[in-house]
Amino acid sequence: MKALIIYDSNFGNTKKIADALKDAFDGNAMSKSVNDFKSEDLNDTKLLIVGSPINAWRPTKNITKFLTQLDATRMKGIKAAAFDTRVRSLISGNAAKKIAKQLQNSGGEIIAETIGFFVNGNEGPLAEGELERAKEWAKKIQSKL
Ligand SMILES: Cc1cc2nc3c(=O)[nH]c(=O)nc-3n(C[C@H](O)[C@H](O)[C@H](O)COP(=O)(O)O)c2cc1C
- Beta strand spans in the chain (E): 3-7, 29-33, 47-53, 79-87, 109-110, 115-119
In tens, the pLDDT along 40-75 reads 999 999 999 999 999 999 999 999 999 999 988 999
Q: What does the pLDDT read at residue 71?
A: 86
Q: Could you give the CA distance from residue 125 to residue 16 in angstroms, rounded to a whole number? A: 10
Measured from the Cα of 9, ligand 1's closest atom is 26
In tens, the pLDDT along 64-118 reads 999 999 988 999 999 999 999 999 999 999 999 999 999 999 999 999 999 999 9
Q: Which band of pLDDT confidence, cut at 50, 70 and 90, is reported for residue 11?
A: very high
pTM: 0.98
54 within ligand 1 shell (Cβ under 6 A): yes
Return all residues near 65 (Cβ < 8 A) that are at least 6 apart: none
Measured from the Cα of 87, ligand 1's closest atom is 11
119 within ligand 1 shell (Cβ under 6 A): yes
Measured from the Cα of 10, ligand 1's closest atom is 27
The arithmetic mean of pLDDT across residues 129-145, rounded, is 96
Residue having the nearest C-alpha atom to atom 28 of ligand 1: 55
Q: Give the closest residue to 92 by CA, choosing from 130, 52, 140, 135.
A: 52
Q: Which band of pLDDT confidence, cut at 50, 70 and 90, is reported for residue 1?
A: low
94 within ligand 1 shell (Cβ under 6 A): no
